[in-house]
Amino acid sequence: MNNEVLTGSITYAVKAKEILNRNGFKAYMGRKKDKNKSGCGYFVSFDGDAEKAKKILEENNVKFSEIH
Amino acid sequence: MINAVGYALKNMCANPGRAGHSLSQFCSVNLYRAREEINSFFNGSGAETVIFCKNCTEALNTVIKGVTGKYDEIIISDLEHNAVLRPVVKTGLFYKTFSVSPESDEETVENFKNALTDKTKLAVVTAASNVTGRILPVEKIGKICKEKGILFCVDAAQGGGVIPIDIKKMNIDFLCIAGHKGLYAPMGTGVLIANKEIKNTLTEGGNGMDSLKETQEPVFPEGFESGTVSLPNIMGLKAGTEFVRKKNRESIYKNELNLIQHIYGGLKENKNIILYTPFPEMHKYAPVLSFNVKGTHSEETAEYLSANGIAVRGGFHCSKLAHEKLGTEETGTVRISPAYFNTLFEAKYFLRVISKF
């Protein structure tokens, strides 16, 4: 999958995945594997328009550290 | 509820929000479903505002100690449980109590208004007294708090799942709930629904987030869920809440209050009985009733009832303030609090037994 949302919170990861799925994105979540400085966290991978996804997540109060 | 707990014990054996394997993710999704259910039941603003605690007391401590600062004042009602009074006293901050009228909501609201000062930061009120059953005018108090910029915390230990509680409509900033009472969940389940920032965490530790940092961010919900959550119990809480929703909360409330009204009527005719409240009217009282047998300590009466197969609580119900208000510091009171599964037959049996004491 092309895009990722990163968040430290499992709650927001589940929420992001479900909202993206509800809005027609194919998304799945897992644990972050990047060498970040803060430690544990989650990614939600999805295909499609990242800008559109970002807008939807923000409208639904999903907090995330990064989307790319 | 029992089946839900059993299912979780067998099938949800991984820590939610810790590992990435499929069982842990399954548990995480189910934990999220529980947040959604509780949020929806109380009309909160999102699943992420639902924080699972070990009980209502922990939820109240989290709010009272987490939102106040050095020069703040706190206002509480004179019917509050020790789960409110003690943490308030522990903060060392100035606090005031306002008097709850047994009959008039307008009087209660006036008393609340008169107790406010410019320094009032936080108001903590019970949704319904755990001693007298009196329901407080939460919506009216919430409106005042919103207008004056005061944080509003509701202790719904006795009222949650029984009387109407709507976070948005009542302008509640923090709702603290006990699972094991009106939501028919296992003991050791509590919830804090937080709509405003809490500056300080009550406990710190592992929460599955930012593990390489020395400090813990006060973010909802995991920032306030240090350590492993009790997933089987939370699944029980979800099932209990669904049970109340399915049976209809208002209908359960009416049935329980009918039992209390029947018992009140019977006790009123008994000249040997002391009652402490007016007739428990619908929407003014939760299904909780305190009484005493004249010249008898409440524990003695409770012991007699226990010997006859009736489980009631004597003593002081962890509520110093309420018993001071009632003037029952010496004897305590006997408290009856029926649930969905109690019947009119049992209420009549209780009246027969107490009449022979």
DSSP symbols for B139-205: HHHHHHHHHHT-EEEEE-TTTTTTS---TTTTT-SEEEEESSSTT-PPSS-EEEEE-S---S-S--S
By percentage, how much of chain B surpasses pLDDT 70? 100
Contact between B66 and B200 under an 8 Å Cβ cutoff? The reply is: yes
Contact call for A41 and B222, based on CB within 8 A: no
pLDDT classification of B60: cutoffs 50, 70, 90: very high
pLDDT at A40: 82
pLDDT at A68: 86
Does A65 contact B at CB distance below 8 Å? Answer: no
Does A11 contact B at CB distance below 8 Å? Answer: yes
pLDDT at A20: 96
pLDDT classification of A32: cutoffs 50, 70, 90: confident
ipTM: 0.88
Give the H or E element holding residue B122.
Answer: strand B120-126
- By C-alpha distance, the chain B residue nearest A37 is B212
pLDDT at A28: 92
What 3-state class would DSSP assign to B84? helix
Which residues of B fall within a CB distance of 8 Å from A15? 32, 47-48
pLDDT classification of A35: cutoffs 50, 70, 90: low
pLDDT surpasses 70 at B264? yes
pLDDT at B109: 98
Q: Is the pTM of this model over 0.80?
A: yes
- By C-alpha distance, the chain B residue nearest A62 is B48
Contact between B8 and B29 under an 8 Å Cβ cutoff? The reply is: no
By percentage, how much of chain A surpasses pLDDT 70? 94
pLDDT at B20: 87
pLDDT surpasses 90 at A34? no
pLDDT classification of B19: cutoffs 50, 70, 90: confident
Six-digit token string for B162: 């029984």
> At residue B305, what is the residue type?
L
By percentage, how much of chain B surpasses pLDDT 90? 97
Nearest to A11 among B19, B48, B210 (CB): B48
Q: How far apart are CA A18 and CA B295, in angstroms?
A: 62
Contact call for B219 and A15, based on CB within 8 A: no
The mean pLDDT of B268-284, rounded to a whole number, is 97
pLDDT in tens, B310-342: 999 999 999 999 999 999 999 999 999 999 999
> At residue B142, what is the residue type?
G
The mean pLDDT of B274-290, rounded to a whole number, is 97
State the nearest Cα–Cα gap between B143 and chain A, in angstroms.
25
Q: What is the DSSP letter of B137?
A: -
Q: Helical H runs in chain B?
A: 2-11, 22-41, 56-67, 82-91, 105-115, 138-148, 231-247, 249-268, 298-307, 320-326, 344-355
pLDDT at A66: 87
pLDDT at A33: 80
pLDDT at B354: 97
Does A68 contact B at CB distance below 8 Å? Answer: no
Which of B22, B40, B48 to mutate: most A Cβ within 10 Å? B48
pLDDT in tens, B119-144: 999 999 999 999 999 999 999 999 99
pLDDT classification of B255: cutoffs 50, 70, 90: very high
State the nearest Cα–Cα gap between A37 and chain B, in angstroms.
7
Which residues of A fall within a CB distance of 8 Å from B219? 9, 63
pLDDT at B234: 98
pLDDT at A2: 84
The backbone torsions φ and ψ at residue B297, rounded to the nearest 5 degrees and listed phi first, read -70, 145
Helix B249-268, helix B344-355: angle, nearest 10: 20
Does A15 contact B at CB distance below 8 Å? Answer: yes
Contact call for B219 and A29, based on CB within 8 A: no
Does A59 contact B at CB distance below 8 Å? Answer: no
> At residue B249, what is the residue type?
R
pLDDT at B178: 97
Contact call for A9 and B29, based on CB within 8 A: no
Which of B18, B28, B52, B217 to mutate: most A Cβ within 10 Å? B28
Six-digit token string for B158: 């006795």
Six-digit token string for B54: 């070990």
pLDDT classification of B267: cutoffs 50, 70, 90: very high
